[in-house]
Structure 1
Amino acid sequence: MPSHSLVQKYNVPGPRYTSYPTVPYWDSSNFSYESWMQSFKKSFRESNASEGISIYIHLPFCESLCTFCGCTKRITKNHTVEQPYLEAVLKEWQLYCHEMEEKPVIKEIHLGGGTPTFFAVKHLEDLINGILKTGIKAKDFEFSFEGHPNNTTKEHLQKLYDLGFRRVSFGVQDYSETVQKAIHRIQPFQNVAKVTLWAKEIGYTSVGHDLVFGLPFQTIEDVVDTIEKTRSLKPDRLAFYSYAHTPWIKGNGQRGYKDEDIPKDDEKRKLYEIGKALLHSNGYHEIGMDHFALATDSLYKASAAGKLHRNFMGYSHSKTQLMIGLGVSSISDSWYGFAQNVKDLDDYYQLLEWNQVPVNRGHILTKEDLIIRQHILNLMCRFETTWSRREESFPELPAVLEKLSEMQDDGLLLIEEDKLTITEAGKPFLRNACMAFDVRLQRSVPETQLFSMVI
């Protein structure tokens, strides 16, 4: 377990690095709708035939507000919102297809939210069929979705399976009634057990659970109990990640409890270390940051083979250069650029009515950005990076290594002539190592807190 002094020393605000540059450091002055579409077309031409594309679809509706969540969502019990929204998503997809010179090869589809299982089975079926009728499924395609244990039906699971989905993740967070009440996410273990067993019975090859440590009122006993219950269901993979306390972000509901209700520093780190030890003892291998998988899962196999990938959808066992984000607030990634859709639902509908892809902001990566991005991706996916080739170096590399020398002295990483490796002791501080490479962050340290704490 990391010492008290190390936790105190390195527990600073930092990004989670689902992208580089991180969203607060996107350069809007050099971004335009036209520059994004040029970037998108270039990436599509380069990669569609060789590796296909990924599609992320944001389904923002939820029937109740989970106060730990920082995602873009719309709280409603009115299900008449479903069909107009999915029709808009399909129109956005058609606008992208109109810019493609050939049929897209669809390698990945991921339904996120919000609550994808808020939507009726028939509406989800129409959505997926609407996407697939204009594309070609890759031979090694992977379709996945996020399910809420309280409203995922067996019909949801069966229909999505019939459409090609083989991976599902269920948001669990914690089984403590006290914690669930604080985060407004009441879901008994029986609900999670039911949907997990249904998914396995139907034939899903990867069932995942999302667990969170550092939640309000959460204790060591809560984490142990949650992981023991999780062990009994034996999901194929787990996300065990740190609660990001960002109450300054408008509308995320995190002002429903006090700062002192939240575990901090050593107390929070103990929750992770004890949880991680329990996961290891039950056959789960640590994959990248905050993710664990059984040896039989595709995520572990990709990690062992050095082929793990990370993007705005999280970790993936396969890579696509181009990811198209559909739906309100979704982020697309062409490798050369990022583009985020508008967050307001009415604005989203209006732009689509004008036959415009509803992009609101973004960033076109510079040559330096592309080099730094690869280093951070290497660290996030393989716990190491190298600059043995000339094209992997950049002018500020010596300063970066100098900044990391203190972490080396603390036994958290090893710097060799042309290689850096995160040690086992350094894995909890992975985000700190990435921050040293983040030259945009180093050049302009924020005056106000933009990110959650790294520990």
Structure 2
Amino acid sequence: MKNTLIQKYNVPGPRYTSYPTVPYWNEAEFTYQDWVDSFKKSFKESNTKEGISLYIHLPFCESMCTFCGCNKRITKNHEVESPYIQAVLKEWRLYCKLLDEKPIIKEIHLGGGTPTFFSTKNLEDLINGIFAYAIKAEDHEFSFEGHPNNTTYAHLQKLYDLGFRRVSFGVQDYAEKVQKAIHREQPFHNVAKVTFWAKEIGYTSIGHDIIFGLPFQTIENVVDTIEKTKSLQPDRLAFYSYAHVPWIKGNGQRGFKDEDIPKDQEKRILYQVGKELLQKNGYIEIGMDHFALPTDSLYQSFKNGELHRNFMGYSSSKTQLMIGLGVSSISDSWYSFAQNEKNLDDYYQLLEWDKLPVFRGHLLTAEDLIVRKHILNLMCQFETYWDTKDSYFEEIPEILEQLSEMDNDGILIIKENGIQVTDLGKAYVRNICMAFDLHLKRKAPETALFSMTV
């Protein structure tokens, strides 16, 4: 049965960090002024009520990891740090000039690239520069991504002193052959060291990122990685499916042959074995690809129906407005999305002209807003309902007809005014969301856009 389902549902599909997904943004009808107006409206509605979130993209890495799809710039020249920090702070000041009051910041996430590429001094200048124009929310949640090979005790201590309490470390896999294939060679000792440092300093949520489906990866590799992870007891885990999309990522994902990558049933077994082992070790599945101990805030949010998902991934709380700072960052006002220039020189140039470095975006329609809520519900709570006037839309009967086959396959349960994903169906939540994706239905992609759902 499971083999048949994998063959049936393993199709290209979005990961739904947003709805509509970026390839379906209506860029032609989006203007710079639209984003400014949308940003100001959202800020006025939400700042004093819940605060705002900041995602800050720090793009520099010293070496290329071939599994990575992030916007990054490879360099060993650390003189690039200070000019970039100053550019991000200028972008922040441009946003603050549009406001009548100081923003209250509830969430900050430093992503990359490699945030720990930057010195502690430059990271301190960044955060202090942000709060020169903002207020820190009492219940703030600040997090960053740390590379086990270059995160120092000083990094962890400095960011802790600045208010950070959550850190995630990229592990991927501990097998040497796999690490060489993805150009991410880091011994277990390095991960253990930074994990214990973070615990010693007082971080309340430590996460590890693991990937299944990597080149040359075997069941034994996945088991060994999770057993080693168990010994370190991170509070939460991301157990991602490797997205092989070389048409997007270029030569970075052509350092190995296609036949070296586990596919279909072979890949699904890696996931199933890993998932069962994680659950055996006390981790609870929350949302897509994510697991947490019952003591972690992410699990508590899932349990209380407050889990949220955006361009930063899963979050234990929601803010209506999320501003993306830095090259390629995406902002979300709830009513609109806006993405910064992807090219670093273009990003710098727009800031020199005292202009927000936005180059494309999308204004959400009334229909988009309803569908977005359903996809968020499925991604965050494994269920969604349309029992109110503002949650129903006219395509629901058509969607139910499509979902009836998934109901027969045991992937979900169709209820009177909604659906609930089964334990079996959690592995296919992207497929379920695709049934609600009206943009995808109306215009199927003519070329490869998305990774496989399984």
Q: CA deviation at 1:447?
A: 1.3
Deviations 1:377-397 (Å, cap 9, x if unpaired)? Answer: 000000000000011111111
Question: Shift of residue 250 of structure 1?
Answer: 4.4
CA contact (8 A) 1:306 1:382 kept: yes
The one-letter code of the counterpart of 2:47 is N
Q: How many residue pairs end up in the alignment?
A: 454
Tell me the equivalent position of 1:256.
255
**2:285 is the alignment partner of 1:286:** yes
| Corresponding residue for residue 7 of structure 1 | 6
Q: Which residue of 1 aligns with 2:204?
A: 205
Q: 2:231 corresponds to which residue? A: 232
Alignment of 1:269-418 (within 5 A): 269-418=268-417
The whole-number CA distance in structure 2 between the counterparts of 1:248 and 1:391 is 39
Aligned to 1:29: 28
Q: Deviation per CA, 1:167-200, whole angstroms, max 9, x where unpaired?
A: 0000000000000000000000000000000000
TM-superposed deviation, 1:30: 1.3
Structure 1 match to 2:99: 100
Using the alignment, how far apart are the partners of 1:220 and 1:12 within structure 2?
A: 23
SS in 1 for 2:158: helix
Q: Which residue of 2 aligns with 1:51?
A: 50
CA distance in 2, matches of 1:416, 1:198: 48
User: Per the alignment, do residues 312 and 13 of structure 1 end up closer, same or farther by CA in structure 2, a change over 3 Å counting?
Assistant: same
CA distance in 1, matches of 2:31, 2:191: 44
How much is the aligned-residue C-alpha RMSD, in angstroms? Answer: 0.7
How many angstroms does 1:252 deviate by? 5.9
Q: Work out the CA distance in 2 between the residues paired with 1:406 and 1:448.
A: 27
Query: Map of 1:433-452 to 2, 5 A cutoff?
Result: 433-452=432-451
The DSSP-based 3-state class of the residue aligned with 2:248 is coil
CA apart distance, 1:246: 0.4
For 2:132 and 2:79, the matched residues in 1 are separated by: 25
Matched with 1:169 is 168
Paired AA for residue 2 in structure 2: S
CA distance in 2: counterparts of 1:252 and 1:164, whole angstroms: 38
Cα displacement (A) at 1:107:
0.2
C-alpha distance in 2 between matches for 1:442 and 1:252: 31
Q: Does 1:132 align with 2:131?
A: yes
Residue type at the aligned position of 1:102: E
Residue 251 (structure 1) shift: 3.8
CA contact (8 A) 2:69 2:249 kept: no
Give the conservation status (yes or no) of the 8 Å contact 1:70–1:252. Answer: no
In structure 2, the residue matched to 1:17 is 16
Distance 2:162 2:412 in 1: 44
Quote the offset at 1:258 in angstroms.
1.1
In structure 2, what is the Cα distance between the partners aligned to 1:313 and 1:296? 22
C-alpha distance after superposition, 1:135-182 (max 9, x if no partner)? 111110000000000000000000000000000000000000000000
Q: Distance in 2 between matches of 1:360 and 1:382?
A: 33
Once the two structures are superposed, residues 50-86 of structure 1 have per-residue CA deviations (whole angstroms, 9 ceiling, x without a partner) of: 0000000000000000001000000000000000000
- SS across alignment from 1:349: helix
Query: TM-score, length-normalised on structure 1?
Result: 0.99
Distance 1:157 1:33, change over 3 A: same
Aligned equivalents of 1:101, 1:434: Cα separation in 2: 39
Distance, in Å, in 2 between the alignment partners of 1:24 and 1:246 is 15
Deviations 1:191-241 (A, max 9, x none): 000000000000000000000000000000000000000000000000001
Q: Judge conservation of contact 2:3–2:265 (CA < 8 Å) in 1.
A: yes
Task: Give the match for residue 177 of structure 2.
Answer: 178
Q: Which residue of the partner structure matches residue 64 of structure 1? A: 63
Q: Distance in 2 between matches of 1:258 and 1:27?
A: 36
Q: Is the 8 A contact 2:331 2:339 kept in 1?
A: yes
Corresponding position of 1:148: 147
Of the structure 1 ranges 411-420 and 318-327, higher mean CA displacement relative to structure 2 is found in: 411-420
* In 2: Cα distance, 1:258 partner to 1:250 partner: 15
Query: Measured at CA, do residues 166 and 386 of structure 1 come closer, stay the same or move farther in structure 2, by a change above 3 Å?
Result: same
Counterparts in 2 of 1:250 and 1:283: CA distance versus 1, 3 Å:
closer
Aligned to 1:91: 90
Partners of 1:418 and 1:46 in 2: CA distance: 30
Deviations along 1:278-322, one digit per CA (max 9) or x if unpaired, are: 000000000100000000000000001111000000000100000
Give the secondary structure class of the aligned counterpart of 1:256: coil
Q: Check 1:381–1:252 CA distance in 2 against 1; reply closer, same or farther (3 A cut).
A: farther
* Paired residues of 2:298 and 2:316 also in contact (CA < 8 A): yes
Report if the CA contact (8 A) 1:340-1:361 is conserved: yes
Instruction: Determine the C-alpha separation between the residues in 1 that align with 2:417 and 2:325.
Output: 40
Q: For 1:31 and 1:431, how far apart are their aligned partners in 2?
A: 27
Amino acid at match of 1:7: I
For the residue of structure 2 that corresponds to 1:253, the secondary structure is helix
Aligned residue number for residue 426 of structure 2: 427
- Conserved 8 A contact 2:106-2:140: yes
Provide the C-alpha distance between the structure 2 equivalents of 1:138 and 1:184, rounded to a whole number of angstroms.
Answer: 39
